[in-house]
């Protein structure tokens, strides 16, 4: 018999003045799981988190934690900690006093507070900073204080609402690693809200992608990226996002296996890293190079097709002539079909494709592309020209 979910939302909804913020959300989270609520601004992710925390009460539905209906219970009775975007530190208290503030309020004995503090500062890399005030700390250190405060609380659940938004890119990466390592070491159940797909993909055991107050898709990061259920999921995950174009505009050999004969009203989606470029040919989708960006490990090539824009993500340095006609290729198994009207996936998504050699011959195989001494197709130029 399988273990029941540790946190469960049953049909929760919340609206303000007739405007629906969250609509009929069902969600089950296992104990020790790291779940990220991801989506654009206004999709309902923070409202969902606040209903779990008890900061908002659902209009309909139930919130269940550890088998107990806590929908109407206050936050203090739910056995959870929260980490906020704003850190929520007391400016007049030291690091040590901020970390142990909750324990002091609960009148935990001094010895226990000191033991908990020592463990928390060791786990979060704050040793030696216990006597400082928040004003003397960097943004990353302040966020670590907030994490340490959640650790000493000893609750099995930690809710995090965009905790890294105030940090620069380098600090975000470092603190992201800290959070994930702490969660694994302590076995906490974490529900984490962000609009940043990099945070979600790098940290989550499971991503709950939200759109318009509803759950668009809930799955592991790799499944959500490789097998999106909707065009919204396909284009929200990925940087650059999945390329969508009318299915009727591409050569038949590039369609996924089992594609219907009637392609009107269907879009085909391809991840930029699955696209390869070659000489124009009738069996390839035609495009014109608009621009290119060399990003160190990869080059993004911006393309104009007869039906819109596309982006190819190619490994290494690849500088080509702006305005040059090219042929777009990909392995048919790398493509996914979506109904344009509903956005829903039509054909089963690709199970696997090769990153660099997505070009295919008429027979459906994927032979290596011809390359020059630098490893690039020989017709490509060495610099971008106007």
Q: Are 15 and 141 in a shared domain? A: yes
Which is more confidently placed, 252 or 375?
Answer: 252
- Whether residues 221 and 328 fall in one domain: no
Mean pLDDT across 101-123: 89
Q: What is the DSSP letter of 345?
A: B
The domain total for the chain is 2
pTM for the structure as a whole: 0.83
Same domain, 124 and 248: no
Tokens of 21: 């913020």
pLDDT digit string, tens, across residues 197-242: 999 999 999 999 999 999 999 999 999 999 999 999 999 999 899 9
What is the C-alpha separation between 288 and 310, in angstroms, rounded?
10
Do 34 and 164 sit in the same domain of this protein?
A: yes
Both 182 and 243 in one domain: the answer is no
- Contact assessment for residue 221 and residue 201, using Cβ atoms and an 8 Å cutoff: yes
User: Does 320 reside within a domain?
Assistant: yes
Rounded to whole angstroms, the Cα distance separating 311 from 235 reads 12
Within a domain: 382: no
* Residue range(s) defining the domain that contains residue 180: 7-226
Report the CATH number at residue 242. 2.40.50.140
Q: What is the pLDDT of residues 280-314, one digit of tens each?
A: 998 999 999 999 999 989 999 999 999 899 999 99
Length of the chain: 386
Q: At which of 226, 246, 266 does a domain end?
A: 226
Same domain, 185 and 64: yes
Task: Tell me the per-residue pLDDT of 179-203, one tens digit each, with 9 for 90 and over.
Answer: 898 899 889 999 999 999 999 999 9
* DSSP tag of 125: T
In terms of domains, do 274 and 188 share one? no
């Amino acid at each position: 018999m399988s273990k029941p979910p540790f946190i469960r939302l049953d049909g929760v909804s919340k609206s303000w003045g007739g405007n629906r913020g969250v609509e009929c959300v069902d969600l089950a989270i296992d104990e020790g799981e790291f779940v990220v609520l991801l989506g654009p601004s206004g999709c309902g992710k923070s409202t969902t988190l606040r209903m779990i925390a008890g900061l908002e009460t659902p209009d309909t539905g139930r919130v269940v934690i550890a088998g107990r209906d806590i929908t109407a219970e206050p936050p203090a009775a739910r056995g959870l900690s929260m980490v906020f975007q704003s850190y929520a530190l007391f400016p007049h208290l030291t690091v040590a006093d901020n970390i142990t503030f909750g324990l002091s309020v609960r009148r935990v004995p001094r010895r226990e507070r000191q033991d908990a503090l020592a463990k928390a500062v060791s786990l979060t890399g704050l040793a030696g900073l216990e006597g400082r005030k928040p004003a003397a700390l960097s943004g990353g250190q302040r966020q670590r204080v907030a994490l340490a405060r959640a650790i000493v609380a000893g609750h099995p659940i930690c809710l995090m609402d965009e905790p890294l938004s105030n940090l620069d890119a380098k600090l975000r990466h470092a603190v992201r690693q800290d959070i994930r390592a702490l969660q694994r070491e302590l076995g906490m159940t974490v529900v984490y809200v962000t609009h940043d797909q990099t945070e979600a993909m790098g940290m989550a055991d499971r991503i709950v992608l939200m759109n318009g107050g509803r759950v668009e898709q809930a799955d592991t990061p790799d499944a959500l990226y490789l097998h999106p259920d909707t065009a919204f999921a396909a284009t929200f995950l990925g940087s650059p996002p999945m390329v969508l174009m009318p299915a009727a505009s591409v050569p038949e050999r590039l369609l996924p296996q089992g594609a219907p004969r009637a392609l009107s009203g269907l879009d085909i989606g391809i991840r930029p890293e699955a696209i390869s470029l070659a000489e124009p040919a009738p069996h390839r989708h035609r495009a014109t190079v608009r621009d290119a960006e060399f990003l160190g490990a990869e080059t993004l090539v911006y393309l104009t097709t007869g039906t819109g824009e596309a982006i190819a993500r190619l490994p290494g340095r690849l500088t080509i002539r702006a305005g040059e006609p090219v042929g777009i290729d990909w392995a048919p198994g790398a493509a996914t079909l979506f109904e344009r009207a509903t956005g829903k996936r039509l054909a089963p998504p690709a199970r696997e494709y090769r990153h660099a050699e997505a070009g295919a011959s008429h027979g459906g195989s994927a032979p290596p592309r011809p390359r020059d001494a630098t490893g690039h197709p020989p017709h490509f130029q060495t610099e971008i020209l106007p």
